[in-house]
């Protein structure tokens, strides 16, 4: 069966409510372990059905945001997803109190109960209208982003199609491309401000309704951060400032020398080499064919996985009009199928996004033994270990994609991993400030972004753009609008992924692949630090771990004469 044949049917909420309510009551009254297990399996089947249909709608909506049918379905999901959450929460309330909880351990891992307990704290029927409004506002942001029609060099392009021009070797073209992108955000500044202002207000009201001090406190619980808190993250941010920001400044100095530019501006930083960035040496079909060979050579497990993805048409990779921006992987429970979405545009990011999302997809493919969809995935910072590490584990095959440009690619790829860390922490710090002070005006939020950007990104010179110099860059960071507090996760995982890079590419550790495969098989059955431990990695929160990891990467980069790449 191909993905196109996967059947979408809008769930009948009233019928599901009736069945779920009856089963939940039966679970509460169950008098044996056997009866409890059977009821939980029946409820799991219903929850997986809901998750399946929600994912089919979401995928098809993001693939073509002009599709009228799925646009109409968006209205349904915005309204009813909180109502489905209410049914799940009622179930969680009963199952966590079950006297037969131990008998459920074969189908419900400990993390399921941890997630369920967090859900009980972060959901209330009273807040359903607020969750519905939040869903609608996020969809408004996505629709605004996908509506971009940028006139550039005789073409009409969307945001995902602009990077080849913003990375041009011709500085005049780069400037024009960035001006065109900025022009879209500046022209829609009032609308972006309105959407985010309403999101901050509604999220703060959600936190207040649920009895939290602020949305930050709510957000940590909502993100299921079992192993760490906001104080630990604050210390981690300080470590980034201490160890990574200076390393990034040195990398920018080297970049300026390579580009023969004394005044490196924001529109220069996406170009790594004077003669151009490394690019895949073929079209999307070439990239997929090379990836298929690569994954067969990497291991029997990855070969089987990638064949499954190709045979079932579970890859939608190329940027096109009306398609949502970005890239993601999701999972369709009833078909036991991962799905990869991206926007190929002819840059090295095409390979990055494929290996990244394939890391997610391979993990969830290996975790299909887990019955409840809630814990097929681990928590977000753990998920990103699988994806970011896969980018580095596949390094030995990068010559297949980049040919003679492979050394340029590897230098840029590892550099970008370090360059990303301060930005990722900035996004997280900004959200802390915003939700700790929800009364801020749009202008004050931009001033906050600018103040923090000056701290974490002193290498960014926005003096040529009034819009960016006043703190407008964050409009394009979709996570800030759609997935609050989902960003520090990438940086924590990057620190772990860099350890896999060192083990596989420098130390040639024969046990590294076994460790990676082990954590893919664990899925969401363990917490973040338990997964880090299972992978034989150092926690990013452990004293010295960040310094050692960054030193290993910078030593490698320092050993390369990048002027000859």
pLDDT of residue 543: 83
CA distance 44 to 375: 11
pLDDT of residue 105: 92
CA 532, 534, 540: angle at the middle one, nearest 5? 15
pLDDT of residue 219: 97
pLDDT of residue 207: 98
Closest CA to 174 of 262, 267, 259: 267
Closest CA to 386 of 410, 414, 355: 355
pLDDT of residue 544: 83
H or E stretch at 340: strand 337-344
Please indicate, yes or no, whether the overall pTM of this predicted structure exceeds 0.85: yes
pLDDT of residue 545: 84
Coil, strand or helix at 278: coil
SS (H, E, C) 205-225: HHHHHCCCCCHHHHHHHHCCC
CA distance 319 to 528: 33
Instruction: List per-block mean pLDDT (blocks of 10 residues) for the chain, which spans 565 residues.
Output: 97 98 98 97 98 98 96 96 98 97 94 97 97 97 95 95 96 97 97 98 98 97 95 94 96 97 96 96 98 98 98 97 94 98 96 98 97 96 97 98 98 98 98 98 98 97 96 97 96 97 96 98 97 97 88 96 93
Coil, strand or helix at 155: strand
DSSP string, 299-329: -HHHHHHHHHHHHTT-EEEE--TTPPSS-EE
Residue 413 · residue 526 · CB < 8 Å? no
Calculate the CA dihedral of residues 86, 90, 92, 98 and round it to 10 degrees.
Answer: 180
The 10s digit of each residue's pLDDT in 406-445 is: 999 999 999 999 999 999 999 999 999 999 999 999 999 9
Coil, strand or helix at 171: helix
Torsion sign (Cα): 492, 493, 497, 499: positive
Residue 410 · residue 398 · CB < 8 Å? yes
pLDDT of residue 496: 97
CA 7, 12, 17: angle at the middle one, nearest 5? 135
CA distance 386 to 300: 17
């Amino acid at each position: 069966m191909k993905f196109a044949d996967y059947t979408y049917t809008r769930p009948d909420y009233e019928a599901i409510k009736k069945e779920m309510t009856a089963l939940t009551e039966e679970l509460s009254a169950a008098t044996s372990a056997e009866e409890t297990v059977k009821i939980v399996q029946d409820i799991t089947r219903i929850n997986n059905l809901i998750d399946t249909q929600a994912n089919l709608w979401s995928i098809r909506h993001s693939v073509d945001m002009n599709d009228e049918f799925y646009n109409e379905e968006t209205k349904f999901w915005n309204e009813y997803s909180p109502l489905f959450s209410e049914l799940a929460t009622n179930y969680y309330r009963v199952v966590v109190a079950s006297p037969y909880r131990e008998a459920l351990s074969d189908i419900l891992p400990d993390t399921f109960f941890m997630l369920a307990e967090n859900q009980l704290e972060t959901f209330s029927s009273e807040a359903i209208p607020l969750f519905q409004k939040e869903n609608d506002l996020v969809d408004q942001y996505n629709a605004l982003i996908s509506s971009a029609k940028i006139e550039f060099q005789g073409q009409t392009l969307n945001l995902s199609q602009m990077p080849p021009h913003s990375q041009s070797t011709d500085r005049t073209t780069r400037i024009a491309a960035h001006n065109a992108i900025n022009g879209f955000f500046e022209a829609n500044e009032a609308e972006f401000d309105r959407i985010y202002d309403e999101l901050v207000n509604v999220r703060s009201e959600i936190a207040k309704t649920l009895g939290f001090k602020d949305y930050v406190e709510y957000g940590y619980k909502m993100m299921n951060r079992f192993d760490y808190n906001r104080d630990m993250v604050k210390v981690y941010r300080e470590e980034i400032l201490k160890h990574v920001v200076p390393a990034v400044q040195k990398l920018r100095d080297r970049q300026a020398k390579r580009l023969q530019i004394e005044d490196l501006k924001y529109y220069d930083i996406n170009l790594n080499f004077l003669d151009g960035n490394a690019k895949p040496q073929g079209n999307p079909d070439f990239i997929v064919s090379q990836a298929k060979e690569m994954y067969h050579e990497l291991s029997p497990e990855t070969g089987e996985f990638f064949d499954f993805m190709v045979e079932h048409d579970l890859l939608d990779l190329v940027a096109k009009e009306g398609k949502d921006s970005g890239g993601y992987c999701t999972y369709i429970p009833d078909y036991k199928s991962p799905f990869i979405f991206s926007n190929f545009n002819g840059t090295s990011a095409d390979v990055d996004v494929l290996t990244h999302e394939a890391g997610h997809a391979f993990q969830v493919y290996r975790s299909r033994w887990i019955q409840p969809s809630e814990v097929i995935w681990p928590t977000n910072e753990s998920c990103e270990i699988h994806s970011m590490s896969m980018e580095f584990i596949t390094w030995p095959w990068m010559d297949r994609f980049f040919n003679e440009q492979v050394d340029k690619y590897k230098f840029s790829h590892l550099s970008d991993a370090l360059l990303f860390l301060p930005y990722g922490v900035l996004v997280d710090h900004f959200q802390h400030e915003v939700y700790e002070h929800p009364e801020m005006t749009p202008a004050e939020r931009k001033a906050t972004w600018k103040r923090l950007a000056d701290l974490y990104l002193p290498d960014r010179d926005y003096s040529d753009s009034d819009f960016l110099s006043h703190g407008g860059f964050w409009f394009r960071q979709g996570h800030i609008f759609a997935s609050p507090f989902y960003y520090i996760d990438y940086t924590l995982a990057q620190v772990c992924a860099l350890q896999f890079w060192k083990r596989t590419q420098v130390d040639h550790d024969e046990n590294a692949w076994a460790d990676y495969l082990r954590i893919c098989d664990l899925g969401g059955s363990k917490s973040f630090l338990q997964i880090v431990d299972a992978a034989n990695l150092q926690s990013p929160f452990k004293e010295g771990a960040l310094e050692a990891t960054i030193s290993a990467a910078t030593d490698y980069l320092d050993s390369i004469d990048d002027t000859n790449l």
